Amino acid sequence: MSNPTGSPLTIDWISGALLGPAARRSEKKFVEIKSLFRDQEQAALIDPNTVVYRIEYWLPVTEGTFGGLFWGTTFVAPGKVGDEFFMTHGHFHAVLDRAEYYATLQGEGALILMDEAGKTWSEVMQPGSVHYIPGATAHRVANTGNQELVFVACWPSDAGHDYEKIRSDGFGARLRSVKGIPTLVPEVRTE
């Protein structure tokens, strides 16, 4: 698409698609996040190549640059593993105090947030909802609807991603369908 703005990027505010030479793309397949779900028997039944979410993003400065900002659109597929909704991996920022904005374009979901002590809460995502994610707060998005969940994000270019804490300890609660209602269910720790 030709771009009359002079910027290397245009967003289609209806679909969330990023257009132009600056747009990069990545995707997350089920096999890459399978171990994060609670019900591993159900997880084994899902095609490992299923794309759970994909991202279109713009890095106008080099990753790690202090003072810059990044921009992206995330598209989360609908689906469940047992009673747990499809979700993003989730992360703290590697530079822990960095904040982020999410804003929903399409679909229904939940932004799951967790502080460093493991206290976990959620905010409803629906078209138009804007979410400020404070520093030192892990964030993950679950799609609770039947259609794609689309949200835009803006985050500091030196924030980075710390996935390890989530891999080892998880969040303090999971977004599960309880009697058909999306519910944040506290995680029972066995160890």
Q: Which is nearer to ligand M6P, 84 or 100 (CB)?
A: 100
Closest C-alpha among 147, 146, 129, 150 to residue 13: 150
Give burial (CB, 10 Å; 0-12/13-18/19+) of 56: buried
Contact stretch for ligand M6P (CB under 6 A) within 43-51, 85-93, 114-122, 178-186: 85-93
58 scored as a contact of ligand M6P (CB under 6 A): no
Question: Of ligand M6P, Zn ion, none, which one sits near residue 55, judging by CB under 5 to 8 A according to partner kind?
Answer: ligand M6P
Residue 111's identity, in one-letter code, is L
- Under the criterion CB under 6 A, does residue 155 sit at the interface with ligand M6P? yes
Give the residue, chosen from 80, 91, 98, 174, that forms a contact with ligand M6P under the rule CB under 6 A. Answer: 91
**C-alpha closest to that of 73 among 108, 104, 115, 117:** 104
**16 interacts with ligand M6P by CB under 6 A:** no
Contacts to Zn ion by CB under 5 A: 100
Sign of the alpha-carbon torsion through 134, 140, 146, 151: positive
Give me the least distance between CB of 185 and Zn ion, in Å please: 23
> In the complex, what is the shortest distance from the CB of residue 2 to ligand M6P, in angstroms, rounded to a whole number?
26
One DSSP character per residue, 39-73 reads -HHHHTTS-TT-EEEEEEEE-SS-TT-TT-EEEEE
The 3-state DSSP class for residue 168 equals helix
Question: Which of residues 72, 109, 156, 170 is near ligand M6P by CB under 6 A?
Answer: 72
CB of 4 to ligand M6P, least distance (A): 26
Q: Which helix (H) or strand (E) holds 166?
A: helix 164-169
- Closer of 16 and 83 to Zn ion (Cβ): 16
Count the site residues for ligand M6P by CB under 6 A.
Answer: 12
Tokens at 38, concatenated: 């609670």
Rule CB under 6 A: say whether 88 interacts with ligand M6P: yes
Which residues contact ligand M6P (rule: CB under 6 A)? 28, 55, 72, 74, 88-91, 100, 153, 155, 161
